[in-house]
Structure formats: C-alpha cells, structure tokens
Amino acid sequence: MNPSPPTPALSPLLRVRDLCVRHATADGGTETVSGVAFDVPAGGAVGIVGESGSGKSQTALALIGLHGPSTRVQGSIRFDGDELLALDPAAFRRLRGARIGTVFQDPMSSLNPYRRIGMQLAEVLETHRGATRSAAWAAAARALDAVRVSSPLQRLQQYPHELSGGMRQRVTIAMAIIAGPQLLIADEPTTALDPTVQVQILELLDQLRREQGLALLLITHDLGVVARLCEQTLVMVSGNLVEAGPTRELLSAPRHPYTAALLRARPSIHHPPGMPLNGLPGQPTLAHESGQGCRFAARCERVQPDCIALPLYRQTHDAAEQRVLLCRHPLRPFAPHV
C-alpha cells in the first residue's frame, strides 16, 4: 500500500487512498489503476496528466461510480467525509450531478440528440433539487448565460445538433454546474475543439471555479492546460501515480524521468522546421505487462537493472515542497530538510 500524499491543514474535499481498478478478463484480469493516492482541496484545482492508457480516465470513472459491472474498484474514495465506495448504484446516481458534476471530452456523448437543450438542463434540477418545471427552465436559461451561451432563451428550444462543438461543450458545462455541485471533474474537455475555442472553454472553467467556489479535477494529456489552470499536478504512467506536486515547481523542475520526457515532447513554435519532434520512445506499457518493476522502465533513459528486477519502489514524499515521487533513480532526489 502506497503511503499517503502530504495532507493539508484542512481536510480535503476529495481524499483518494490506494485506489486500484481491475477489469475482469478471460485470462484473469487487468489492473489499469494501481495504488493511486491524492487530495483535492475545496475550491482547489488539481490536474492529472499522462499519455493515453495511463489510467487518468479510469481514475475519474471510479470516482463517480461509472465503471462497468466487470470492474472491481478497491481502496478508499472519501468525498466531503463520505466513503463513496460504500455507496450503492442508486446513491451514486444521486451524487452525480447534485454534488459532483462531470464534463467529458465529447459533448454529444453527454447530450441526448432527441431532446431539446432546455429539457435536458431542466431535468437535472427536477431530479436532484425537486424544482418545478417553470423554475427549472428559468434556471436553465441563467446557467446558459453563466457559461456565455449567446441567446440562451433561443438555445433552450434547440437540439444539440443545431449547435457548434464549442457551444455544445458550454451546454455540458452548464449541465454539470446547474445543481450547484462542490466538485467538477473535467475529462479532456477541450480535446475535440479547435484551439481558439479551447482557450475560451479553459477560461470559462477557471472563471466558474473562482466565482462559484468549485473544486476542479482536470484530466488531460496537455501540460499547457494544467499549467494554465491547476495549482497541483499529478503525473500517471500505466496506472501508477509517479510524480505529484505544485504545478509550477513540478513543470519547471521535474524529478521523474517520465515527467521530463513529457515536457521535452511538447510541441513548440520555435521547433526547427523539418526536424523530428521529441516524442517519447516506444509504446506505453500496460500494467499487466510490466511485471513487478517500474512501468516506465522499458522507455526510460535512466533505467537500471533494479528498475526492472525489483518490486516497484514505494512513493517518497517531500512534505516541505508538497512533492510525491515514485522512482528509484530520479533526476533530482529529495534533499533532506534541516
């Protein structure tokens, strides 16, 4: 069991400890998240970054109880003091939307193409807050206005296909916040949008968090996004949390070789034309393919025999810097604090 991350003075809104997600398969099962632990403070912004397959979205789905029937989730997920893994499906449904809002990558996966926008927004308040139809529709118009949707009264009467991709994503954000949740989970909310709209959506999420006092858990593969929005950043590799800390310090002085490799792989407008990009070598290792050693070992430029042969190294912490590290041969070991 991995040790807990540094604990702030106040109890966090979301407290995750030793989270493991395992999917049943014909050959016995596959673990996609292993021993993950982190906190999200009330009103804070935390980002989770990593490549596709790193376990980011599996972590998010476990938090809101949307894993499939063949998936087993273990560990502890405490939200505002309540243990979520003890909830039954009906209790999880009451939690989603009312206390935890979610924004996914593709808004069309969240919106019903056969129902008008107003009906879908109003239904959230009718279900979770017991609002009357007229009150819910009025609140729906205000929610669209809050997320900067033009002509909100007109949009209430439209269907999702009548809106642009950016406008649909604004609608899903309105749907996620309309019932006044404490936590907003945004899973790759801008990936499917063009760059100009991406910036607008990110600014909107940041504004809503500050104005409404929301906590934000942002799932992304884009380090620029966490640099823009998040106070704390978690880095995942093949289901493991390998590094965590304050965003500015983590991005300016990474300690894990994987974090450094991600930073080198970021595209830049200053990159010489015709020169190959600094992509990460090889392919991500699945959790069940890595044996007992480090899951980044096969792609790491600092790999040593003990990285492969010995059991995965336990997380170490620097309480003074609020940093977490899972690596036998880091770029910058934690210095002792006197």
- Which pLDDT value is given to residue 338? 40
- Which pLDDT value is given to residue 322? 84
- Which pLDDT value is given to residue 6? 45
- Which pLDDT value is given to residue 106? 87
Helix (H), strand (E) at residue 241: strand 240-246
User: Residue 19 corresponds to which tokens in the numbers above?
Assistant: 């989270």
Statement: the pTM of the whole predicted model exceeds 0.85: yes
- Ramachandran category for residue 310: left, alpha or beta (phi over 0 → left; psi -120 to 50 → alpha): beta
- Which pLDDT value is given to residue 13? 97
CATH architecture group of domain 12-99+181-266+282-325: 3-Layer(aba) Sandwich (3.40)
Q: Strand locations in 119-239, DSSP E?
A: 183-187, 215-220, 232-237
**Residues of the chain under the 50 pLDDT cut:** 1-4, 6-9, 337-338
Residue range 282-332, pLDDT digits in tens: 677 665 565 678 889 888 889 999 888 777 767 777 777 788 999 989 998
- Which pLDDT value is given to residue 1? 42
CA distance 97 to 28: 34
CA distance 235 to 296: 12
Q: Strand locations in 80-177, DSSP E?
A: 82-83, 100-103
